[in-house]
Amino acid sequence: MNILTTYTLKYLRLNKKRTAVTILGAVLSSALICGVLLLGLSFQKMMIDHEIFMSGSWHARFLAVPFEKAKYITENNAVETSMFSSWLGNATYGSQNTVRPYLYITAYDTLSFQNRNIKLITGRYPQNADELLVSPVMIGDSGLGLKVGSTVAVTFGQRDIPNHDEMVKAWGGEEYVALADGETFIPSVSKTYTVVGLMVPLADETSMPASFPALTYLDPAQLAAADKMDISILAHDPHSIYSSAPQMAESIGLATITGPDGQPTESIVYNEDLLSWMGASSHDNYARFFPVILATLIILIVCGSAFVIYNAFAISIGDRKKQFGMFASVGATSAQIRRIVLIEAGVIAAIAIPLGIVGAIIGVAILLKLTQGIVAQVILDAEQGMPLVVSPLVIVLTVLFSAVTIVLSAWVPARRAARVSPIDAIRQSGEVEEGKLLDLRTNPLIRRMFGFEGELALKSLKRDQKRYRTTVLSLMISIILFVAFNSLTLYTNTTQNIAVQAMNFDLMIDLDYRQTHAEDFAERVVQLPEVQRVTFRRSHYSEYIPERSVITDPAYQALQELTSLDNQYLPTVREDGTYEFVLEVNAVGPTEFAHYAGQLGLDLAQYSDPSKPLAILVNHITLRQSGKLYDFDLFNLKPGDTITANRMQGWPSPQTGGDAIDSLTWTVGTVTEETPLGFMGMTLTPTLFVSDAVFDSLSDQMVQLGPINPGNMTLKSDDPDTALVAIERLYKSTVGGNFSYQSMKEFNQSNSLQTLLTNLFFYGFMTLITLIGVTNIVNTLDTSIKLRRREFAMLKSVGLTPAGFRRMLRYESLFYGLTALLYGLPIAIAVSVFIYSQFGSGVGTFNFTLPWGAIAACIIGILAIVFVTMMISGATIRNDNIVDTIKEQNL
C-alpha cells in the first residue's frame, strides 16, 4: 500500500474519537440527504397514487376526435396507452326522482374502466353496449328497485331547457344545469340495458343536479368513421405532454372546439393534478414547488454538513501541521500532502455514506410505519400510509451529494495542508506565527469581573481568531436553524388553529333546496333534541357598484394595493375607477335569523316585512396579505341607506315570467361585525342577511340578477356524533339520495393529525440538523482543548491550580456561548420575522410572536453544550503529567 494511504489509515485508527466524530457528522449528513429524498419520493408516490385514485390514470384527453383520425393519436410514438370514451347522451329511465330524472350515459372502453377512477362496489364492469354500471345512489333515488341483473329501459333524447344556450353558458355545461321550470324532454332512441354492477358515485355525481352518471361499454369495433369520441392517453414521457399533445391535436385538425358556453376552447384537457405531482405540469401550483422545497432542504443540509465536515478536517489539519511540515521537509510534494487529506476524505466517505443510507432507510421506514395510521386518516385512499420508495435514483443522488459535500469540505483544508512549509515542522513555537502582531489586550474590567483566569480565557479566544470565529459561527448556525424551524412550526400550527377556530359550527350538511322534501327535512332537523342551532343557508349573488363616497378611505386604499395582487376575492376595478363588488344576500332559516336578530337587539317583525326589505349589513373586513394587516369597514353605510343590486355580468336575461328587472334595492337596517352561525370571516364581498320571508318573497326578482345557490345547512350540537346519526336517518327518509356532510370534529381530528404529521417531520428534521451542529461544536471545542495541552501544562507548572484551570475553561465556555447567542439570536429573530411575513395571507390573522420556549431552550442548550464539552475535555487532560507534556518532543 502507498505510504500516504498507510499514514492516513493509521492516523484515522489512532485518533478513534476524532475519526468517529467526523464519521458521525458525515453519516448524519448522508442520512439526512437520503432521508429527505426518500420522504420526498415516498410522498410524491403517495400523491401520484392519490391523484390516480381521485381522477384516474391518464395524462391528457383529446375531446371529440373523429374515429377515423383516432389512429393518429393511438399509434403516435409518444403514446403508451390510449383509452376511448364517448358521451352517449341524456336518457330518461322512469325514475321516481322528479328533480333528477335523467341518466347521463357515457361509454368507456376496457382500458378506460381500468384507468379512470371507477370503483366497483359489486358486480363487474360492462363488457358490451347493452350493459350498464350505475351508483347505489341512483338506484336508491330511482325508486325502481333496481339491482345487479335488473334491466332498465331508457329513452335517449334532448333536454329542452328554456333559454338553453344562456343557461348552458351560465353553468358551464348542460350537465350542470338543474331541471328548469318549463323544461321538457324530446325523446329519440330507446334501449334496454342490463345493470351488471354498482360503482362508487363518481366525483361528478354531486355536481349534476338533473342527472345521475351511468356507464356502458364502448366497443371501438362498432364505431363508424365519423363517430366522435374522447381519447385519453398515457404518454411515455409525461414531461413532454404539453408539447406532444398539441402536436397530435394539430395533426388531426383538432386545434380548438366549441365549449359548452359557445366559446372556443382547447380540445385537449390535461390531468393537471397528476402531472403536477409527476413534475410534468407547467402550471404554478403547490406540486411544482415540491421539488423546490426538496432542493432547498438538501441545500440546507449540504451547507450545514459541509461546514461541520470542513471544520472537522480543519481541526485535523491544524493538529498535524508539524507532521505535514515534516513530510514537506523530507520531500513530499504539495500534491502528495493534499492527497493525504483527500484520502482521508475518501475513507470517511466510504464508511459514512453507506451507513447513512442504511440508517436513513431504516429510520424513514420506522417513521412511515409509525405515521401510517395518521396518514391513512388524512388521505383516505392511503390505507397503508406513505409507501417507502427506495429507488436507485435516491441512492445515486445521496452518494453524489454526500460525496461532493465531503470532498468539497476537505478540499480547502487539503490545500492548506499542502501549503504548510517545512520550516513549520522545525520550529517549536505554537500556533502564533512568527512576526505576526496580535492585539491580545483585554479590558481591565475583565480581570476585575472574572479574575486572571477569565482574562486568560479571553486572550486564548483572541489568539486564534480563525478557530474562534469557526466555533462561534457553528454555534450561531445551530441557534438560527433551531429558532427558525421552531418559528416555522409555530406559525404553521397557529395558522391551522385559526382556520379551525373560525369554524363556528359543528356539522355542515349539503342540502339542495330544490330537491323534493328538502323543506320537510329542514323543518324536522330543527326539532331534533341533539340540535341546538341550525342555519339553512341560501345565498344570492348580484353585482354592486357603489359610489366612491360610499367606500371608506381605508377600504379604497386597500383595494388600490390589493389590485396589484392576484386574489380571487378582489372586486373588479372599472375604467372610471369605481369598483364592481359581488353582493351576497343570505337567508339563514327562520330560527337562526330570529336568534341572530335577537343577538343584535333588532325587531324581528321589522325585518320580516317583504314590502320593506330590510337587510343586516356585515361590513368589517380583517385580512392579511403579504404580511400586511388590513382591518377596516368596507362602506360608509348606516341604517336607512340603500344598496342597489344589479344583474351580474353574463347572467342570462329574465328567467321567469313577469316584468324583467335590472336591479333590486335593499335597505340597510343595521350594520354589524357579527355573523350568524355558519359564516366564517368576511372577504371583500359585502354581505347582507335577510329574513327567509323577505328572501322567499323576492327570490323571483333576485334570480333575474344572479344565481341563488342552494347552499347548505350548518348546525351546532353538544353531541355532534349522535346528531349526525339522527340527521342522516332523517335525510334518507325525506330527501333521500346521497347524504354528504362535513363534521368539524372530524375536521379537527384530521387537522390535529396533519399538525402532528407536520410537526413530526419538522421536529425530526430539526433534531438531526441540530445534532450535526452539536457534533461540530463538540469536535471543535474538544480539539481546541487538546491542542493546548502543552500550554496548560506550562500554566500548571507556574502555579495554576486545578480549580483555576476549571474556572478558565468555564469562562471560555461562557465567552463562546454568549458571543454566539448575542449574534445568533438577533439573526434568528430576523429570520423568524421573514417567515412570519410569508404567512397569514387572507382571512384569519395572528399577531407576530416568537417561539419563546424554543429560544429559552436554545440559550440553555448552547451554554450547556459548550460548558459540558469543555469540562469533559478539560477533565481528560487535567491529570496530565506536567513535565512529560511540556517535554513532548515529537510531532
Partner 1 sequence: MEILKVNNLSKIYGKGDTQIKAIDNVSFSVEKGEFVAIVGSSGSGKSTLLHILGGVDTPTSGQVLVDGTDIFSLDQTQLAIFRRRQIGLIYQFYNLIPILNMEENITLPLLLDGRRLDEAHLKEIVTTLGLADRTKHLPNQLSGGQQQRVSIGRALINNPALMLADEPTGNLDSSNAKEIISLLKLSNQRYHQTLILVTHDREIALQADRIITFGDGHIMRDEVVRA
User: For partner 1, what does the binding mask look like between residues 418 and 447, x meaning CB under 8 A?
Assistant: ---xxx-xx-x-----xx------------
CA–CA distance, 844 with 842 (Å, rounded to integer) = 6
The enclosing H or E element of 62 equals strand 60-66
The enclosing H or E element of 107 equals strand 102-108
Question: Nearer to partner 1 by C-beta: 331 or 658?
Answer: 331
Q: Which stretch binds partner 1 (CB under 8 A): 4-12, 201-209, 438-446, 640-648?
A: 4-12
CA–CA distance, 368 with 384 (Å, rounded to integer) = 9
Query: Would you say 123 and 197 are in contact if contact means Cβ atoms under 8 Å apart?
Result: yes
Q: Which stretch binds partner 1 (CB under 8 A): 1-9, 84-92, 311-319, 459-467?
A: 1-9
Question: Nearer to partner 1 by C-beta: 7 or 762?
Answer: 7
CA–CA distance, 690 with 712 (Å, rounded to integer) = 16
Helix axes 286-319 and 744-786, enclosed angle (nearest 10): 20
Question: Nearer to partner 1 by C-beta: 322 or 878?
Answer: 322
User: For partner 1, what does the binding mask look like between residues 394 and 423, x meaning CB under 8 A?
Assistant: ---------------------------xxx
Residue 883 near partner 1 by CB under 8 A: no
Q: In this structure, which amino acid lies at residue 34?
A: C
Residue 410 C-alpha cell reads as 476537505
Query: Would you say 671 and 639 are in contact if contact means Cβ atoms under 8 Å apart?
Result: yes
For 134, phi and psi rounded to 5 degrees? -130, 175
CA–CA distance, 708 with 539 (Å, rounded to integer) = 6
Residue 334 near partner 1 by CB under 8 A: yes
User: For partner 1, what does the binding mask look like between residues 293 and 322, x meaning CB under 8 A?
Assistant: -----------------------------x
Residue 884 near partner 1 by CB under 8 A: no
Residue 881 near partner 1 by CB under 8 A: no
Question: Nearer to partner 1 by C-beta: 449 or 891?
Answer: 891
CA–CA distance, 411 with 313 (Å, rounded to integer) = 9
Residues 22-51 that bind partner 1 (CB under 8 A): none
Q: Which stretch binds partner 1 (CB under 8 A): 5-13, 51-59, 706-714, 731-739?
A: 5-13
Question: Nearer to partner 1 by C-beta: 338 or 807?
Answer: 338
Residue 870 C-alpha cell reads as 469543555
CA–CA distance, 119 with 140 (Å, rounded to integer) = 18
Question: Nearer to partner 1 by C-beta: 422 or 654?
Answer: 422
CA–CA distance, 351 with 363 (Å, rounded to integer) = 18
Question: Nearer to partner 1 by C-beta: 424 or 512?
Answer: 424
CA–CA distance, 811 with 457 (Å, rounded to integer) = 6
Residue 336 near partner 1 by CB under 8 A: yes
Residue 789: CB minimum distance to partner 1, A: 14
DSSP 8-state secondary structure symbol assigned to residue 106:
E
CA–CA distance, 108 with 128 (Å, rounded to integer) = 10
Taken in order 459, 460, 464, 467, the sign of the CA dihedral is: negative
Question: Nearer to partner 1 by C-beta: 152 or 326?
Answer: 326
Residue 333: CB minimum distance to partner 1, A: 5
- Among 186, 292, 335, 605, indicate the residue that binds partner 1 (CB under 8 A): 335
Site residue total, partner 1 (CB under 8 A) = 31
Query: Would you say 108 and 215 are in contact if contact means Cβ atoms under 8 Å apart?
Result: yes
β-bridge mates for residue 664, sequence order: 645
β-bridge mates for residue 230, sequence order: 85
Residue 856 near partner 1 by CB under 8 A: no
Q: Tell me how far apart the terminal alpha carbons of the chain are, to the nearest angstrom.
A: 23
Residue 838: CB minimum distance to partner 1, A: 52
Residue 414: CB minimum distance to partner 1, A: 15
The beta strand positions in 796-879, using DSSP E, are 842-843
Q: Which stretch binds partner 1 (CB under 8 A): 9-17, 468-476, 556-564, 744-752?
A: 9-17
Question: Nearer to partner 1 by C-beta: 391 or 421?
Answer: 421
For 431, phi and psi rounded to 5 degrees? -85, -10
- Among 206, 265, 329, 532, indicate the residue that binds partner 1 (CB under 8 A): 329
Query: Would you say 124 and 212 are in contact if contact means Cβ atoms under 8 Å apart?
Result: no
Residue 2: CB minimum distance to partner 1, A: 8
Residue 332 near partner 1 by CB under 8 A: yes
- Among 60, 328, 458, 588, indicate the residue that binds partner 1 (CB under 8 A): 328
Query: Would you say 197 and 172 are in contact if contact means Cβ atoms under 8 Å apart?
Result: no
Q: In this structure, which amino acid lies at residue 7?
A: Y
Residue 392 near partner 1 by CB under 8 A: no
Q: Which stretch binds partner 1 (CB under 8 A): 8-16, 29-37, 60-68, 695-703?
A: 8-16
Question: Nearer to partner 1 by C-beta: 421 or 801?
Answer: 421
Residue 341 near partner 1 by CB under 8 A: no
- 463: Cβ contacts below 8 Å, ≥ 6 apart: 431, 432, 438, 440
Question: Nearer to partner 1 by C-beta: 263 or 429?
Answer: 429
Question: Nearer to partner 1 by C-beta: 323 or 471?
Answer: 323
Residues that bind partner 1 (CB under 8 A): 2-3, 6-7, 10-11, 14, 322-323, 326-336, 421-423, 425-426, 428, 434-435, 889-891
